[in-house]
Amino acid sequence: MPQYRYHVRTSAGAENSGTLAAETVSAAASILREQGLHVLQVVPVGVSAARLGGIVERLNVSTGPGLKDVLDFTTQLAVMTRAGIGIRQALEGIADQVEHPRFKRILQEIRMDVEGGKQFSEAIARYPKLFSPLYVSMVRASEMSGSFAKMLDRIASYLAQEVETRRMVVGASIYPGLIATMAVAVTVFLLTFVLPRFAAVFSGREDVLPGPTKFLMGLSSFMIDWWWMLIVAIAAGIFGGMLGLRTATGRLLFDRFKISCPGINKMFRALYISRSLHTMGQLLNAGVPVLDTIAITGDIAGNAMYRRMWRNVYGGVKQGRKIQQQLVRHTLLPKSVIQMIGAGEESGKLGEVLEEVSTYYHRVLRDAIKAMTGMIEPLMIVVMGSCVGFIAMAIILPIFKMSSLVTG
């Protein structure tokens, strides 16, 4: 049976090390927990903890903890605090179960901060890439109102919708990407491997070849002779595009394109409206001040155009104007949505109204993604078939033409 080296902490706070036999690492950890010990580390004998941790860290550092990890953590923390477990014990228990080494280390540091006297919201604010301003603000509001577990449930619900939204958007882009990749691969194969086989047949008869065949033969020769230049050009284009998106102007142009391009603008507008209104509704219902709510909504809008709109709203509300008065100056939200926001302001139920509208636009987003996927599928098939058909025609036409000249 395999041997494992362990490092544990007793209930008295003392740390001990040793070895034990078990079927797996999980089984070894279970044996130790049954003895009332807090497991710090379990590794196979012969593998140093530092070496093993370094290997795992390198394997995970490229991806890092993401939104799904934060969602799982929030859900577990909500369940444990609702069951009456103190936040320190809850953080310690969750950290023991987390497999991602980087996220485990972050949770352990948060636990130490809480044990040192910091508020939970203050401890997680040190990691803005994991815990967004919305997350921190809602936790801070719950700490002031005493509804921590209930607020964690609300945050988990918000994160679950964000995960679902991302999954829908990514899923909608996978199929068109696969079809486009296949179309390009088939075209390159025909031009670089199939068409050159017919070059010998057409050699010396270039004057009788139709235009499409001459064009494709020239393109085939260029791709074979200058393939490295094409690769350099494609790489330079991708690199230049990535650099452009890092600039404020480039990002603004790209974000403007997404909400104005026919075919995709409905999906992206529904995405940004749903995200913005859902964020505002959650924050207002959590008791976060209106100005802070608008500022956070702008920060996580996900689009430079919508971010600019919410910053303009923030400036107006700060001067004493209503949200509706500022929104009517922009065209990024439908008039019906602006009217409902105004009604929510007048009735004092703005948070509830925003959540209802965001739920509606989440359905609109789902329908838009399905419609776009259904539209792209036949379009990509037609494009792919046209490319292959054009190449086949360019190969077959000169054969028929030369055979007719011979028989004539």
Rounded to 10 deg, the angle between the 304-318 and 248-258 helix axes is 100
> What kind and span of H or E run contains 15?
strand 15-21
Report angle CA 299, 304, 307 to the nearest 5 degrees.
Answer: 40
Regarding the domain delimited by 159-408, which CATH topology (the fold level of the hierarchy) does it fall under? Receptor-associated Protein (1.20.81)
Candidate from 161-170, 275-284, 333-342 with smallest mean pLDDT: 161-170
Q: Which CATH number fits domain 3-47: 3.40.50, 4.10.240, 3.10.20, 3.30.70?
A: 3.10.20
* Residue 6 near residue 17 (C-beta atoms within 8 A): yes
Q: What is the pLDDT of residue 59?
A: 39
Question: How would residue 306 be classed by pLDDT, with cut points 50, 70 and 90?
Answer: very high
Higher pLDDT, 244 or 207: 244
Q: Where in the chain is the domain with CATH 3.10.20?
A: 3-47
Which of 153-157, 160-164, 184-188, 310-314 reaches the highest mean pLDDT? 310-314
Domain 67-158 has CATH 3.30.70.120: no
Mean pLDDT (whole number) for 324-336: 89
Task: Express each pLDDT in 204-215 by its tens digit.
Answer: 666 667 777 788
**Residues 343-365: pLDDT tens digits?**
988 888 888 899 889 889 888 88
pTM: 0.68
Position with higher pLDDT, 154 vs 59: 154
Per-residue pLDDT, 132: 84
Model pLDDT, residue 404:
62
Handedness of CA 40, 43, 46, 48 (dihedral sign): negative
> Which segments of the chain belong to CATH 1.20.81.30?
67-158, 159-408
Task: Kindly state the average pLDDT of the residues 237-242.
Answer: 89
- Cα–Cα dist 353/118, whole Å: 35
Check pLDDT > 80 for residue 201.
no
Name 117's Cβ contacts closer than 8 Å, sequence gap at least 6: none
| 3-state helix vs strand vs coil in the chain, percent to 5 | 75, 5, 20
Q: CA 156, CA 161: separation in Å to the nearest integer?
A: 9
